[in-house]
Amino acid sequence: MVNLITGKKGTGKTKILIDKINAAVKDSNGCLVCIEKGETLRRSISYKVRWCNAEQFAIDSFDAFYGYVAGMLAGNYDIKEIYVDGILKIAGADFDELGRMLEKVDKLTGDEVSVTFTVSADASELPSFVTKFFD
């Protein structure tokens, strides 16, 4: 299952994501993963969450991101929730490619794993095949 938190830069998306992550730590019975570019969230989230820096793994495209998530899920069946801050910073600002990747991730995770992305764009800028994943 894929969910999006959207809004222009500075609208509080990351704060919402941090709150969701820390609340999920209390409620989840599986592993939680947080992926971002850089180290902004590292100290704001619980130590129980597996934190990943996309730069460390040279993730610079939507295909590379998908492969990373697929590999992570193949290696750990206990992952229940994945949180991604700034997918456009990680993989690029191509909304068509974003939509294709979201479709693939949604198919990969099904109802077993929840994946939440922050997207720095206004909802009106996004195509309909992306907006269908709104949280």
* 33-42, 58-67, 97-106, 125-134: segment of lowest average pLDDT: 125-134
Rounded to two decimals, what is the model's pTM? 0.93
The whole-number pLDDT of residue 135 equals 57
DSSP annotation of 9:
T
Share of the chain above pLDDT 90, in %: 79
Collapsing DSSP to helix, strand or coil, 82 comes out as strand
Q: Are 36 and 86 in contact (CB under 8 A)?
A: yes
Q: Are the beta carbons of 109 and 74 closer than 8 angstroms?
A: no
Tokens of 75: 């290696």
- Signed CA dihedral, 53, 55, 57, 60: sign only: positive
* Statement: residue 134 has pLDDT above 90: no
**Domains and their CATH numbers in the chain:** 2-131 (3.40.50.300)
Instruction: Name the helix (H) or strand (E) containing 126.
Output: none
Helix (H, G, I), strand (E, B) or coil at 89: helix
Say if CB 79 and CB 72 are below 8 A apart. Answer: yes
